[in-house]
Amino acid sequence: MIIKKSLFFGQRILSDFREWGIFFALLLICGLMTLLSPYFLTTNNLFNVLLQAASISIIAAGFTVVLIAGEIDLSIGSAIGLVACVAAVLMIEVGLSPFLGITLSIFIGILLGLFNGLCTVIFRIPSFVVTLATLGIAHGTGLLLTAGRPVFGFNESYSFIGQGKIGPIPTPVILAIIVYAMIHFLLKKTSFGIQLYAVGGNREASELSGVRVNRIIVLAFVISGVCGALSGIILSSRLDAGHGDFGASNLLDAVAAVVVGGTSLMGGAGSVIGTLGGVLIIATIRNGLILMNVQAFWQEIVVGLIILIAVIVNQISKNELSFSSK
């Protein structure tokens, strides 16, 4: 009994350290970037970091939910491009109001999530394969809708979503905070959140306990699809255009943020608080590299190395904890 309690508290301490220790690491990285560039701590640059983090943070939150369920969603980056194209076609070419355009764009995200979830649970196809296929379908559909060209000309009310400010704070940052607050509440304070962690940790035991596993998995994919749609809306309104290639590069940053934030790739563990810290770290590193005039392809190499190191550290810590419990 004493050993079980010690193991429980050890896991709890490790979880808390991963969740909040990430922000200590963020402070250290900010200090390093300040030393390397005198422009890092300027007000304009800090807002640039937050804006860069906003759209990535929302898809990272959706990605976190799916990973906790023990699944993966590779299509979330292409969902951004598809929704951006749908929004552009509906509001610029068809002439729909921003309200209808946004509503239908979010509906596209819901349908994409439903498709991924239902294919995964009904046909028992690994979510890696399903979402890899959906990635190509969504990307190609977005390019088809716009004939492979960017569509410009959103009205001011829609552009406010990505370019406006409420007080001194950019609108995308406020939207990201709202999304994180909602998902954090969903994961920590609702039965859905409890069941989600249970499904990701042990699917068979969850089924035996009466949890509707398929329903939980489908809902996780729907949340991911909605997050992809919101990111597409923010990005298209910020850039005042829609194009199928939007969001293609955001998937790597989202994966890096989630892994750095401590979410397990095997499911059953993670939090959006940790993911938020991971997003800010990735955005800060990218911003610092830009300020130091580091070329874009070197930035991709750095982000890839961060993912690899984070997974290795996560695996080592798991092995040490399991060894100590024996």
What residue type is 298 in one-letter code? W
Longest dimension (CA), the chain: 67
What CATH architecture applies to the domain 49-321? Orthogonal Bundle (1.10)
Whether 320 has a pLDDT exceeding 60, the answer reads: no
Note the pLDDT tens digit of each residue in 240-291.
Answer: 999 988 887 788 889 889 988 989 888 888 999 999 999 999 999 999 989 8
**Torsion on CA atoms 261, 80, 76, 220, rounded to nearest 10:** 90
Provide CB contacts within 8 A for 202, sequence distance 6+: 268
- Per-residue b or e along 262-292, where b marks 16 or more CB atoms closer than 10 Å to that residue's CB: bbbeebbbbbbbbbbbbbbbbbbbbbbbbbe
Mean pLDDT score of the chain: 88
Extract the runs of DSSP E, i.e. beta strands, from 126-222: 151-152, 165-166, 169-170
**pLDDT at residue 318, rounded to an integer:** 61
17 — pLDDT class (breaks 50, 70, 90)? low
Q: Which amino acid is at 115?
A: F
Record the pTM. 0.89
The DSSP secondary structure of 201-255, one letter per residue, reads H-HHHHHHTT--HHHHHHHHHHHHHHHHHHHHHHHHHHHTEE-TTTTTTHHHHHH
- Look at the block and give the residue holding tokens 């492979």: 148
With a cut of 90, say whether residue 300 has pLDDT above it: no
Reported as a single tens digit per residue, the pLDDT across 55-106 is: 799 999 999 999 999 999 999 889 999 999 999 999 999 999 999 999 999 9
What pLDDT is recorded for position 319?
A: 60
| Burial classification of residue 201, based on how many CB atoms lie within 10 Å of its CB (0-12 exposed, 13-18 middle, 19 or more buried) | middle
C-alpha span between 57 and 70 (Å, rounded): 20
Q: Find tokens 């060894």 and name the residue.
A: 323
